[in-house]
Amino acid sequence: MRTVSVPGSRCNEVQTDLTFVLDTSAASSQSFQTMRQFLVDIVDNLQISSVNVRVGLVTIADVATNRFYLDSYNSRSQVRETRNEKPTLSAEAA
């Protein structure tokens, strides 16, 4: 979670919206696997919820495809459950 501390302020959290854009034109390449693992590592360190951090995913090959929107999932585990869909954020998917 991204936090901001401001002396004398009661506001110490900032809502963050992240939309990942993943090039899937070479989904079987090593660079794709590296990019996917990078996204997994980021997601694993975020406090995903409807009030803290919201994430979305767009994939691009020949056309851009919205895989999920900022309000599609409210937890890290929900995002990770997308591993059965290809392409995915999960490192376990083939």
Chunked into runs of 10 residues, the chain (94 residues) has average pLDDT values of 42 72 80 83 85 89 90 89 59 38
With respect to residue 42, please indicate whether it lies within any of the assigned structural domains. yes
Domain count, the chain: 1
With respect to residue 77, please indicate whether it lies within any of the assigned structural domains. yes
CA 43 to mean position of chain CA atoms: 5
Q: Which two tokens stand for residue 60?
A: 């691009």
With respect to residue 11, please indicate whether it lies within any of the assigned structural domains. no
Give yes or no for a contact between 84 and 93, defined as CB atoms under 8 angstroms apart.
yes
* pTM (whole model) above 0.85: no
With respect to residue 23, please indicate whether it lies within any of the assigned structural domains. yes
Q: What is the CATH number of the domain that holds 62?
A: 3.40.50.410
Give yes or no for a contact between 12 and 49, defined as CB atoms under 8 angstroms apart.
no
Looking at the DSSP bridge assignments, the partners of residue 68 are 57
With respect to residue 62, please indicate whether it lies within any of the assigned structural domains. yes
DSSP state of 62: S
With respect to residue 9, please indicate whether it lies within any of the assigned structural domains. no
For position 64, what pLDDT does the model report?
Answer: 92
